Every structure is written in structure tokens, then in C-alpha cells.
Amino acid sequence: MRNLETSTEKAPKPKKEKEPVVEWLLAAGHRACSGCGEALGAKLVMDAAGPNTYVATATGCLEVFSTPYPESAWRMPWIHSLFENSAAVASGIEASLIAQGRDKDVNIIAQGGDGGTADIGIGCLSGMLERGHNILYVCYDNEAYMNTGVQRSGLTPFDARTSTSPSGKLSWGNKTNKKDLPAIAAAHHIPYVATATVGYPNDLMAKVKKALSIRGPKYIQVHVPCPLGWIHPSDMTIEVAKLAVLTGLIPIYEMENGVVTKVRKIGKNRRPAEEYLKVQGRFRHLFAKGADAEEELEKIRQIAEANIKRFGLV
Amino acid sequence: MRKFIEGSMAVAEAVKLCRPHVISAYPITPQTHIVEHLSQMVADGEVNAQFINVESEFGAASVVLGASAAGGRAFSATTSQGLLLMGEVIFNIAGLRLPVVITVANRSISAPINIWNDHSDAMAIRDAGWIMLFAEDNQEAHDMHLQAYKIGETPEISLPVMINMDGFILTHAFEGVDVISQEEADSFLPPFKPAVHLDVKNPVTMGVLAEPQWYMEARCRMQEALYESRPVIKQAARDFKGKFGRWYGDVIDTYRIDGAETVFVAMGSLIGTLKDAVDDLRGKGEKVGLLKIRCFRPFPGQEIAEALKNTRRVAIMEKAFSLGASGILGDEIKAALYATPYRPEISTFFIGLGGRDIPKSSIVNVYNQVKAKQQNNVFVDLKTELVK
């Protein structure tokens, strides 16, 4: 893998106290595709959360690849109900544990993909955030409905080609920009909202730990490349994830009580948007022979530019 | 203690006695009074439960699903469109074998929008895998909640229970109800001890993917559990009678059926009207009786067939039907009888849809029709001039 940067990922400081490390709470040996960003993201989230964590998971790749009966990859209490209700199921778990006096020193995580979170599950998510449950919601954003064969979701980026937003004579692919779900979450006036990426695993784990140290509803949106859906080699997952950040297309930040308190600066490591787009088959139509996509590429550059301005990334 | 209370309050009092951990619901008429009363009880500290206001019935059902999976006793109430919106979760709760109890204040289904009583809502989700009980009056609705948790939480059953009571007709009716004391309730209904639940001390995976080599067995076990629940439902009714002296039948009940040539069959509050009509007709020398279906799922086909074996005519009164097919009770009763040598003449009637009043005169009219000849799927009191 190429070294994409020199200074933005700080080496973790040595720990003062030794904590017992419990790893692989999402055990290896499950059925995710090689290079699956979501599997890596979920593994990091669970290891950061630790074993005293209840997990409610939406229908999607994560649930399918980790629990084909009689196997389960989960070494923690875990439930899957439906596509759009992991936030509500987690709300019920939290209320039940409180009523039974079993809520001390435990974490509750609700999780789902971008479709299960931003589209079909947004009602349950909003209810959970509004009611103030002490739950962390994690959205693994791989920018389309991957489990059903790469259909467009509300978090599919502009001009990405999916099976329901194909490029064609009259189309450059997905016609809309990503729904700003972190802002929607923050609009519920919750204490903590963050974006993260599997490209920066230490940052992701630190955010999960920080979120779980805060009482109330928390939302973390994790950018997770999908080699199958994005059409890139499976050994490029981390590289692609980092390029998304370094081009400014995926801003990484934290919001506490509605205010942006921290951003991951990209500074002199900034890359042109094309570097991110060119390595993925889902944007290949923008660079095809004879394609006159300059106008489209400029729109994508402007999306990056707007993120860079909004979050002060450089 | 005997209290003059609204049906919804009778339900709320019963739910309180069951010591639920989590109550979650969304407002919809005519269910709303039930959860209004419960939320007041929580606000006053009378019920030590978490009351979760949600953004939809879909959310409410999902919250009680999670609450039950975490080992708590959970309750919700809904009706009509709300039950349909819950639909996906309703099936899922049963598949996960979670003994949630939901009270349905039965109401019609839109369109046209109509907030009044029939059984279209419950009938629409009859294949979900729930135990479905129908209450005849508010005392039965009150008592049924204690029985419902006892039945559903029986470890080998582990199924959700839906208590159906007619919207407005029961939920909004004030009448005397013997409210059970907490001590008596506690001695009848023990604390919930789930067979499996989410616990960090003993992590389990719930809601797995079942590929074709596993799915059919899981559904078969649900079917078996539903059939195995019949003796449990009967035992709960007997235990209840032993403790409280009240009896409403077990899976079915009969009224003046001995020597009856014509037997009415119905569910819910219509039973009360039918009892009066049967008394009137008996007074005039007519040989009529009544069969009440108290438990619709699991369907008590054998018990029904046995009750109808000496009957010449059966008049099935349905507050719902399957559009494009026929009466649901009628079809299921015919199927149950087909397995036996008994062949009474069966007539089917759709009655009281969308809250249309059912006076005794309509029952007498039905009786006269079946006595004259067998009838199929007749809309009772239909304004024929409007459907031409």
C-alpha cells in the first residue's frame, strides 16, 4: 500500500494504565467479503466498546455475514430484528435494563448500514435520538444497499453508479448528493455526533470510547468502503477510505452539543478529487473514453471544496 | 374491588397488576385511553415501568420487542392502521418467540377511513404466529391480561399474546369491573423468567439468518408451540376460575347449546348481544344456542367441531372477511368440520362492519333467514340501494 500521508495519523500515546484488552468481540471467520470495510469497522467499534455491551443490528450485510445459523460471530449479547428498527429495539433494551436495574456499567449500541439508517430507519433513529436514550448509534456508511446488490441509498454520493442509479446516455449516475445525516442527528441536540472512517482506525476507536463515556444518545457515522459495490481491489479498502478523507469528500469531525469541536485536517496532504474517483469502478464512467465529464468532475470538486470550507479542513 | 370504570381503565388496571417493565405505544383512536391511563399511572409512581413515547406504532412494537428480548415484561396497545403499521414487527416478535402482550382495540381498516369497531385489523395479521384472544366484556378483558402473560411466558410456549377487545363498544364503555388486588395478581402471575434473553453475563445471539436448511424447522416449531399452547390456555382459564371464580370459557365457550337446532358463532362483544337474543328466542320456544370463540389463534377447530356436532344449523357472525374470498371464521369452521362426520348447514354473515350498530332485531332477522334456508356471506343490514 502506498503511504498516503506523512503526519495526519498520530501514533497513539502509550497507555498509562494497563487495561485488559478484549479483542475480536466480532470474531474472525465470518462470511464477509475480503476487504469488507463494514466488517472491519464493526470489529473496531466492538473492540472499543468492550464485552459489557448490548448490540442491536439492522438487517443488512453485517447481520447476514455474521449470523448464519447455527453460527454466530458475536461474543456479546446481540439481536437482529428488522431492517429499519435497530434504534427502536435498542431503545427497548435500554428501557428494559433500567426497569430491571441491570443498566449499570453497560453500553448499548444500535447499528445499521446507510440504507437502514438514513432511509428506511430514519424514523426509529430520530425517535431514539429525541428521547434521550443512553445509546450509541453507529451507521456503517458504504454508500449504497450492498446486501441487495448495490442499489442507491440516501447516502450514495453524487454521480456514483449503482444498480438503480446507473450511468447511461442520459445519466451520469446518482443525481443527488449525500444526505447530511450527521447534521440531522445533531439537530436533535444530542451531546455527541462524529464521523469516522476505517481509514483511520485509532480515530474511530477513540471516538467510540469517547461517545460511550458520554450519557445520552450518540451518533457516529463510519465511512466503510465496499470493494464489491465500489469496484476496487479488496486490498485497497484502507487506501480508498483515506483518499475519501484526503480529497475532502468525506470530512471527519466531531460535534459536541451541536458545535463542531474537532476536525481531521488534511492540510498539505490534500489530494484532487479525481484520485479518489479514478480508483473506483463506480465512478469509471466519468473517465471513460470519449466521456465529456469535465462539468461533472467540477461539481464533485465543488462538493469537496464546500466540505473543506465548511469544516476548515486545510 | 368493584369499580365503575371505563373499559380502557379496566385494561390499564390489569396491565399495572402485571408489573410491566416497559410500556410503549403511539396514539390512535380508540386505543388511546388505555395508554393515557397507563402513562398517568407511571407519572404518579403507581406503575414502576419505563413508559416510552414513540414516533409510530412501528417504533412502539420495536421497543417492546427489544424490551422483551432483554428479559423484561413488555406491553403495548394499538388498533387498526396502527396494528397494520406494526405488522412487520408483529410477525418478527412471534418469530423471535418473545412473550409480549399487546391489546388491540379492534377497529376497521381504511379506506374509507372509519374509526369504529370491527375485526378487520386483527384478522389482517392472523397468520403472524400470535396467540389471539377475544374478550366479550370489560371484566373478561381485565382478567385476560393476567392470563395472557401467564400463557405467553410459559417457557415451552414463549409466544406473544394479542388481547382483542372491541373498540369503543368495550374500550369506551363504563361498567362495573372487579379489579383484582396486587396481592392476588402476584399470586396468580409469577415474575417473568425468560427462557433466553440478552445478558452481558451470558451473551446470546438472537434474530439469526436461517438459510433454507433451517427456516422450515423454525416455522414448524412455532406451529407446534401454538398448538401446544391450547392446553396452557385452558389451564390458565381453569386456574383463574379456581382463584377468582370467574369463567369465560377456555378456547371456546357455549351458551344454551343443549338441544339447540341453530347455533350462532361469534367473537368479542357481539357475544353479549347474542346471549340476549338467544334468551329472547328461547323464550319464544326457538331452539337456539351460542358458541363463543374466545381463542382465535391457535384455532380451536376440534373444540368447535365437538360443540357443533349435534347442531342442524350454524349461523356464523363475522366482523371481518377476506376480500375476494369469503368469511374467515366461516372458512375455518367449515375446514374444521370437514375433518369430522358432522355436517351442519352453515350460513355466514358479515355484520357490524365499521361500527354499524347490531340491534337484537338484526340477530332475529339473521335467525329467520337461516331457518328459511342456508345463506352465504350475507351483509347484514346492508343498504342495498347504495350498492346497486
* Residue A34 at interface with chain B, using a CB cutoff of 8 Å: no
User: Would A13 be classed as within a structural domain?
Assistant: no
User: Would A116 be classed as within a structural domain?
Assistant: yes
User: Would A186 be classed as within a structural domain?
Assistant: yes
Question: Do the beta carbons of residue B82 and residue B29 sit within 8 Å?
Answer: no
pLDDT value at position A268?
Answer: 95
Q: Quick count: other Cβ atoms within 10 Å of Cβ B261?
A: 14
Nearest to B267 by CA among B302, B237, B297, B244: B297
* Residue A101 at interface with chain B, using a CB cutoff of 8 Å: no
* SS3 assignment, position B340: coil
User: What does the alpha-carbon distance between residue B23 and residue B138 come to, in Å, rounded to a whole number?
Assistant: 21
pLDDT value at position A1?
Answer: 43
pLDDT value at position B123?
Answer: 98
CATH fold label, B2-244: Rossmann fold (3.40.50)
The residues in A 186-245 lying below 8 A from B, measured between CB atoms, are none
User: Would A7 be classed as within a structural domain?
Assistant: no
Side chain identity at residue A251, one-letter code? P
User: Would A4 be classed as within a structural domain?
Assistant: no
Q: What CATH number did the domain enclosing A168 receive? A: 3.40.50.970
Contact residues, chain B, for A46 at CB < 8 Å:
none
* Residue A27 at interface with chain B, using a CB cutoff of 8 Å: no
Size of interface A-B (CB pairs under 8 A): 160
The mean pLDDT value of chain B amounts to 98
Contact residues, chain A, for B69 at CB < 8 Å:
79, 89, 92-93, 96
* Residue A151 at interface with chain B, using a CB cutoff of 8 Å: no
Each residue's pLDDT tens digit, B4-63: 999 999 999 999 999 999 999 999 999 999 999 999 999 999 999 999 999 999 999 999
Residue with cell 465496499: A226
Whether B200 and A90 lie within 8 Å, measured CB to CB:
no
Each residue's pLDDT tens digit, B319-356: 999 999 999 999 999 999 999 999 999 999 999 999 99
Structural domain boundaries enclosing A161:
37-311
DSSP string, B205-221: EES-B--HHHHHHHHHH
User: Would A79 be classed as within a structural domain?
Assistant: yes
Q: Name which of A78, A82, A130 is nearest B92 (Cβ-Cβ).
A: A82
Specify the range with the lowest mean pLDDT, choosing from A17-26, B100-109, B135-144: A17-26
Query: What are the grid coordinates assigned to B215, written together?
Result: 427456516
User: Would A32 be classed as within a structural domain?
Assistant: no
Whether B24 and A95 lie within 8 Å, measured CB to CB:
yes
Total domain count for chain A?
Answer: 1
Domain residue ranges of chain B, discontinuous segments joined by +: 2-244, 252-386
DSSP B250: S
* SS3 assignment, position B126: coil
Contact residues, chain A, for B48 at CB < 8 Å:
99
User: What does the alpha-carbon distance between residue B291 and residue B254 come to, in Å, rounded to a whole number?
Assistant: 5
* Residue A72 at interface with chain B, using a CB cutoff of 8 Å: yes
pLDDT value at position B21?
Answer: 98
Rounded to the nearest angstrom, the gap between the alpha carbon of residue B257 and the centroid of all alpha carbons in its chain is: 23
* Residue B96 at interface with chain A, using a CB cutoff of 8 Å: yes
Segments of chain A scoring below 70 in pLDDT: 1-22
**CATH 3.40.50.920 fits domain B252-386:** yes
Give the mean model confidence (pLDDT) for residues B258-275: 98
Query: What are the grid coordinates assigned to B140, written together?
Result: 373478561
| Predicted TM-score of the model (pTM) | 0.96
The whole-angstrom distance between A299's CA and the closest CA on chain B is: 37
